[in-house]
Every structure is written in structure tokens, then in C-alpha cells.
Structure 1
């Protein structure tokens, strides 16, 4: 081989490009392969690694998309580009095209959150406000659509450039989803897994419209104002407690505190006396079997204090009460309740209509005495 042939052979291999991208970052989604005047030599080698796809753009039009693998760029494996350029019989000279490498790996631990409180309507507490935040993961599933619709001519596109758009999309769809869920306010924080799955299903089509796949969506926390949280906790306790026992317990604590604040021997004696009385009342309340009053030896025991019956009643599906007999009669008189309203008192096996409770039938009127016996 002559010297001229050797130089010619070397120049031949110098003109063959290797088109590839080695990603040394953790945040790059799209990287444009740079070449002088965007010229790529005929027969150039294209290397697309795992976790990548290569997209060829010709004069703003999507040409060809390559999956992971090694390719020799000819008219055979550039069919769309060949059609756009009108290569009928192949080509032997450099051609112009923009090559974009798109990372298809999963981008994890992306943060989202509601910038402003979400206002919801709750049947018990009225209008309430909640906030939420969490994380999500995504990956590019349609590189061609993503470049055309989102990236454009950006030569180095990172996840930070798309994160604000995705956060706004998530916040909007999350607001719609929780508004339509119509759950009691305290259940949003207790059902974050189910709510996360529902939100992901709602958001996936929105992501797919721009070539992105929403892989995971997590709600880490749903928060509400502290005063509302305390009110909900108090409501849940009251719904489970016996109100008569609770009121007696609070009265005992208040009297005990008052006795401690009194100065001198008189205060101590009064506190001790009230302590005995309260101990007796609390003992009777907490231990119904022990109903014998505490008396001094030789002192006749007074008759037991009559216990006023307390009634619970239902209004619009909500439990109300307890109230004494007279108050219940007043509620009936002003039509807050009626003969079909559900009533319950201690000792009843189930809720019963007012008209079927024996001692409440007098509310209905029309009671007449039986006829006098014949003389």
C-alpha cells in the first residue's frame, strides 16, 4: 500500500462520527448532541445506551427515534429522515440533523405541595382549610412528543425546568380529587394510601399528554389548622363518652382545684368536706352496684336522691343530647323533634320512635282518663 493510499484510508476513518452521550449528571432529561453546523457523516455510528433514547429532528420536524442499541446511520435505518430530505438513491455526503438524547430513567423523590390552603365544605365544621404535600416519580415514555411539546430547541433540559409545571398540574388535580371525594375532614389524613392511588389514576392522562409517565404518587401528609384539629379531637371524644359521667368528673376536678386555692384551716376543712362528698358521688357513678350512702353511725340514712332520666334524640341523622324530660318536652313543643324522631335512654336496647316510648306518649296529647266504674 502506497503512502497516498494510507493517508486516504486514515482520512476516511477520521470522517466517520460516533454519536453518543455519556450522562454524568443526575438531573438531565434531554441533551442535544453538538456537531459543527449539525453535520453528521454518512455511515456514522450511533450508540444509544440503556436508559436513553435518541431523537432526530430535521428543520423542526420529528424524524426518527432510536431505542437502546448501536446503529450505522444510513438511509436504511433513517427512513423518515430519508423521506423528509428526498433521498431517493441513498446519500454519500454529510447530512444535517439535530440529535437529542433523552434520558428514560425514573426520576425519583420529586417534591410537590399545595402553595395555598384548599377550602373544603364539611357537614359538621362548615368550611375548613387543609394543606398537603408529598413526592412523586416520573419517566419519559414518549421522547418525540416530549421534545416537540415541551423541550423545543433547549439543548440542555433538566428536571428542574419541568418540575414547576408538574407541581402546578398536581396541585390542580389534587384539589379536584379531594373536593369530589366528599370524605369527613378527619379521614383525609387517615386514608393517604387510598387517596394517593386515586390521585395517581386521575393525573396519569395529564402526564401522558406531554410524553411523561407518572410512575408513583405519594401523599405524605394532609394537615389542617391546629384549632380545627383540637375541635375534631374533642368532637370524637364527646361522641364516645357518657356525658353525665364526664360532667361529674369535670365538676370534681374544678372543686378540688378551688379547695386547693383556699387559704387557712377553713379552706382545708371545706376542701376535705367536698372531697368526701365528691368521693361518694364518684364512687356511686363509677360503681353502680355500690349505691349505699356513707353515713355517720347512729344517724338515720336519708332517702336516695331521685335520678333524673336523660334522653338522647336524633336530628337530621345527628345524635343530640342528653336532655331531661322537661327539655325534651320543650323540643317537641317547638317542633325541633316530632312523634317519629328517634329517642334513646339508658336501659333501652335500641333507638325507638318517640311515639313508641311509653312515658313520652303524653307529648302527643289526646290522652283521656278511663270511664268511671259503675256504682
Structure 2
């Protein structure tokens, strides 16, 4: 072999014959194939495996995109390569181009979350703050666009580099979506599936502008301050209870507590008295017919006339959300005030009043405001 042939063989061996990328990591999205002086030999083999896409870039412009398969790089079957400057010296010359392999498999279990609380306006609880977090999955749908818009000249691009951008985009769009949903605050935790689907539909077009497909999006938790949670739970209980039954239940609990009071003779006497009252009431409920017969017999024996009927309990009407509500009893109105359904400025009306008045202006309702101080003794 002559000296010229040895030099020719040595130079030909420096050119790349096989172009492939074996990915041994789980986080690499794009990898630039390294080769000697950017030169690729004519008729070289390009091997693109499943889950990969190869992108040829010449002087900053995308020349071609290859899907999975094995290709022979020549002008005969890839006419677009004739535009590369390396071919102007003949088909036997090497050509120069950058080759990027893009990982197109699904990247799963990526985390997202709101860095700062999101402020929302609720009709019943006013301004409230919530936080949210979850997971999402994505894959590269347009390798050429992704290389052009995101990767640039990075020789090894990982999902860590893109995640910060994607998480910022998710947090912004999540804030917009929940703000427009206008759900009652207590329903956010119960509607995470519906919110997840809505957020995914909103975010998909923006992901695609950089060649990324948002495949899955999950909201795992929506959290709020503990004091707001307690207020919501209390409101939900009151909202589902019969206010009249609730008032009777609380009264019975108060009687029970007073009867168990061991603080002195007065307490014991009060407990005994209340116990007698309860005993009489329960006796009356258990033997209504017997009590009625005895009362009738007594009246006949004494010739007493029937007493007048008990006066009817005062019924109140109140305004809520611009609409008239009621009628309710005094105790029911007190419970509505305690649950913040109405306040001291809410309008109320009862029979005998000339017009609607603020609750704080009605004499017998001022007790709701905590005014338990008795008037001064007369001189």
C-alpha cells in the first residue's frame, strides 16, 4: 500500500460511519451527537431507535427530521442533504452537520406546586388563600420545534432544565383557571378531577408552542389555612341541620351541664329544679292521654273555665342576599346570627313593625350583640 493510500484510509476512518445514541439515563431529553470536526461520511448509517427522533441542523437551521428506523445518508435517497455545503465538493466528500437525538418517550411523575398562596374571593368567606400541588406527564411531540425553541446549542438537555419553565407556566394557568371556575371554596377539594381536566385543556396549546405535549395533569391536593377549614366545617354542619332541632339540642346540653354543676347549693338547687321540669315534660310526653283525662276531670270537678290559648311565638323575617327569608323563631334567628348567615346590619321585620330595621336597632335582638351588662340601679 502506497503512502497516499495510507493517508486516504486514515482520513476516511476519521469520518463517522454510524450515527446512533444509546441513552443510559432517565432524564435526558435531547443529546447532541459528538463527531470529529462535525464531519459525517457519505453513505453513513443513521440508527434511530424507538422512543427517539433525530434532527439534523446545518448552520443553525433544521435540515431534516428522522423518525425511528435505519437510514443511509446519501443525496440519492435524502435530496435535502444536497443543500449542505459539504456536498459541493462531490458526493464522495464528507458533509458537516449537527445531529441532535431527542428522547420522545413519556416523562412521568413530574412535580408541580404553587410557590405562593393563591388569593380567591368567596361569597360567604370573603378573600381566602389556597395552595395546590400535584404531578404531570409530558413528551416531545415536535422534535424540530423543541430543538429550535428550547434546546438551542445545548449538547445535553435534561428535563430538569425544562421543568422550571413548565412549572411556572402551570402555576400561572392554574391560578387563572381556578379564578374563572368561581367554585365555592369548600368544593375545591371535592372537584380535583374536574379541575385537573379543565387545567390540562387550558395548558395543552401553550405546551405545544414549544413542541411539548402535556399528556397528563393531576391536582393531588388543594389546601387552605386551618382556621378557614374549621369555619367551613362548622358552616357545613349548620347548613345541613334543622335550626329548630339544633336550638333544642343546645338547650338540652346546657340543662345537662347545669344539672351536673357541683359548685354549690344554688347550683344544686337549679339542677334539681331543671331536673323536675324535664321529668314533668318527659312524663307528659310518655302519658299524654292520661294527663289530658286528669286535666279534664279536674276542670269538671272544679267547674273552672278553660284558660285562654298561649300567645303565638313571635316570628321574624330577615333579608339575605337581597331576598326575603323566614319566618323564623327568636332562637332560630339567634342561631343564624351565630353562624354568620346574618349580622348586626341585616334587615329584619316582625308583625307590628312599621318597616324593615337593622338587627342592631331592634330592642329584643340587641342581646345577640353580646350586651349582657344590666342597666344601673335606680337611685
Measured against the shorter chain, the TM-score band is 0.7 to 0.9
Deviation at 1:120, TM superposition (A): 1.1
User: Is 1:94 aligned with 2:85?
Assistant: no
Q: Whole-Å Cα distance in 1 between the matches of residues 253 and 55 of structure 2?
A: 76
- In the alignment, which residue of structure 2 is the partner of 1:125? 125
Q: Whole-Å Cα distance in 2 between the matches of residues 167 and 263 of structure 1?
A: 62
- In the alignment, which residue of structure 2 is the partner of 1:214? 214
Q: Whole-Å Cα distance in 1 between the matches of residues 196 and 58 of structure 2?
A: 41
User: Is 1:334 aligned with 2:356?
Assistant: yes
Q: Whole-Å Cα distance in 1 between the matches of residues 176 and 282 of structure 2?
A: 51
Q: Whole-Å Cα distance in 1 between the matches of residues 77 and 218 of structure 2?
A: 41
Aligned ranges 1:277-316 → 2 under 5 Å: 277-278=277-278, 308=313, 310=315, 315-316=320-321
Deviations 1:178-221 (A, max 9, x none): 11111111122111111111111110000000000000111111
Deviation at 1:308, TM superposition (A): 1.8
Deviations 1:30-68 (A, max 9, x none): 111111221111121111000000011111111111100
Q: Whole-Å Cα distance in 2 between the matches of residues 21 and 328 of structure 1?
A: 84
Deviates more, 1:134-143 or 1:230-239: 230-239
- In the alignment, which residue of structure 2 is the partner of 1:20? 20
- In the alignment, which residue of structure 2 is the partner of 1:195? 195
- In the alignment, which residue of structure 1 is the partner of 2:71? 71
Q: Whole-Å Cα distance in 2 between the matches of residues 197 and 331 of structure 1?
A: 54
Deviations 1:67-90 (A, max 9, x none): 000111112344334224284685
Q: Whole-Å Cα distance in 1 between the matches of residues 214 and 352 of structure 2?
A: 60
- In the alignment, which residue of structure 1 is the partner of 2:115? 115
- In the alignment, which residue of structure 2 is the partner of 1:44? 44
Pairs aligned (count): 331
Aligned ranges 1:143-158 → 2 under 5 Å: 143-158=143-158
* Contact 1:207 1:213 (8 Å CA) reproduced: yes
Deviation at 1:170, TM superposition (A): 0.5
Structure 2 runs not aligned, ≥5 long: 300-305, 334-347, 360-379
Structure 1 runs not aligned, ≥5 long: 338-375
- In the alignment, which residue of structure 1 is the partner of 2:53? 53
Q: Whole-Å Cα distance in 2 between the matches of residues 106 and 31 of structure 1?
A: 16
Q: Whole-Å Cα distance in 1 between the matches of residues 353 and 31 of structure 2?
A: 75
Q: Whole-Å Cα distance in 1 between the matches of residues 283 and 80 of structure 2?
A: 91
Deviates more, 1:202-211 or 1:222-231: 222-231
Q: Whole-Å Cα distance in 1 between the matches of residues 287 and 28 of structure 2?
A: 77
Q: Whole-Å Cα distance in 1 between the matches of residues 349 and 21 of structure 2?
A: 82
- In the alignment, which residue of structure 2 is the partner of 1:358? none
Deviation at 1:148, TM superposition (A): 1.0
Q: Whole-Å Cα distance in 2 between the matches of residues 61 and 162 of structure 1?
A: 22
Q: Whole-Å Cα distance in 2 between the matches of residues 126 and 58 of structure 1?
A: 58
Deviates more, 1:328-337 or 1:118-127: 328-337
* Contact 1:312 1:323 (8 Å CA) reproduced: no
Q: Whole-Å Cα distance in 2 between the matches of residues 35 and 271 of structure 1?
A: 96
Q: Whole-Å Cα distance in 2 between the matches of residues 328 and 66 of structure 1?
A: 82
TM-score with structure 2 setting the length: 0.75
Change (3 A) 1:71 1:182: same
- In the alignment, which residue of structure 1 is the partner of 2:367? none
* Contact 2:87 2:95 (8 Å CA) reproduced: no
Q: Whole-Å Cα distance in 2 between the matches of residues 47 and 129 of structure 1?
A: 53
RMSD of equivalent CA atoms: 3.8
- In the alignment, which residue of structure 1 is the partner of 2:242? 242
* Contact 1:38 1:98 (8 Å CA) reproduced: yes
Deviations 1:113-167 (A, max 9, x none): 1111111111111111111111110000011111111111111111010001000
Q: Looking at secondary structure, tell me which structure has more helix per residue.
A: 2
* Contact 1:64 1:79 (8 Å CA) reproduced: no
* Contact 1:102 1:143 (8 Å CA) reproduced: yes
Deviates more, 1:187-196 or 1:317-326: 317-326
Change (3 A) 1:250 1:15: same
- In the alignment, which residue of structure 2 is the partner of 1:225? 225
Q: Whole-Å Cα distance in 1 between the matches of residues 251 and 64 of structure 2?
A: 81
Change (3 A) 1:86 1:25: closer
